[in-house]
Amino acid sequence: MAPLPDMIRRAGMTPVVIVKSHSSDDEERVQTEAQLMNSSEAYFAIEDRLYEGDYVEMSDPRGGLIIKVAAEVEQHPMPASMASAFGGSNGYTKVKWGKAQPVRQAPVRRLNLQHLHAEVVSSASALFADNQYDSAVTEAMKSVEVRVRRLTGLELSGAALMQEVFKPKSFMLDVGVEEGRSGSDEREGFFYLFRGAMVGIRNPKAHELAQGDDPHEALEALALASLLHRRMDIAEERLT
């Protein structure tokens, strides 16, 4: 945090937090001070790197936070020869406030392995942590297959098993949650998801995740396995 020029500091400084990339995965928070001239503008040290669109948080004397957004930013650099005359700063930034948009933050901002279905965590988490991404996905899909076989008693495997269990017109496990036509469409959709997971991912010959070194693609496949397990939770509850 660099000092503001003395001519600006005289009115007193207020602790603030500059928030860059507000409410995103790349959010960055920088603590500094600013001279709040009035409700519409303020001054910062030029070294604070405040830009248009950045958010600024400050304490509300009545409690809570005041959040403002930098709508117009004017940078006023100072020559090095004048730095000492201006409190050691290389200049200052004048900011005019705009209206901050309501903060909307997704309930889940990052996909996390530990938040997936317990069957996926049990079968794949150790392999995933060991960077064996292709094996982790294979084991997660195998856990789907094994569970379907256990719930139905069938001795089939892979796509043939899913074909028999999730046939839209004569299903053995009911994974739908909607009623009427919507429910029929939903069951048909999950029929293709279960079968497709076996053909496109479970089958080792079809399972190529960039030579097994892509954790993001692997995590997405594990999320699909988790979704299938959660639908089987619904089906299993109906069997009891």
pLDDT in tens, 85-101: 445 567 889 999 987 66
Structure tokens that stand for 32 in this block: 């500094």
| Residue 91 · residue 77 · CB < 8 Å | yes
3-class SS of residue 18 = strand
Instruction: Tell whether the model's pLDDT for residue 74 goes beyond 80.
Output: yes
Q: Within 10 A of 43 (CB to CB), how many other CB atoms are there?
A: 22
Rg of the chain over Cα atoms, rounded to whole angstroms, equals 28
For residue 97, CA distances in Å to 19, 30, 59, 115 come to 14, 18, 16, 39
- Average pLDDT of the chain is 85
pLDDT given at position 106: 55
pLDDT given at position 205: 47
| Residue 93 · residue 76 · CB < 8 Å | yes
Q: Within 10 A of 44 (CB to CB), how many other CB atoms are there?
A: 27
Instruction: Tell whether the model's pLDDT for residue 206 goes beyond 70.
Output: no
Spatial CA neighbour of 146 closest among 133, 162, 132: 162
pLDDT given at position 86: 47
User: Going along 78-202, which residue ranges are E strands?
Assistant: 91-98
Mean pLDDT within 169-184? 93
- Counting residues of the chain whose pLDDT is more than 70, the rounded percentage is 82
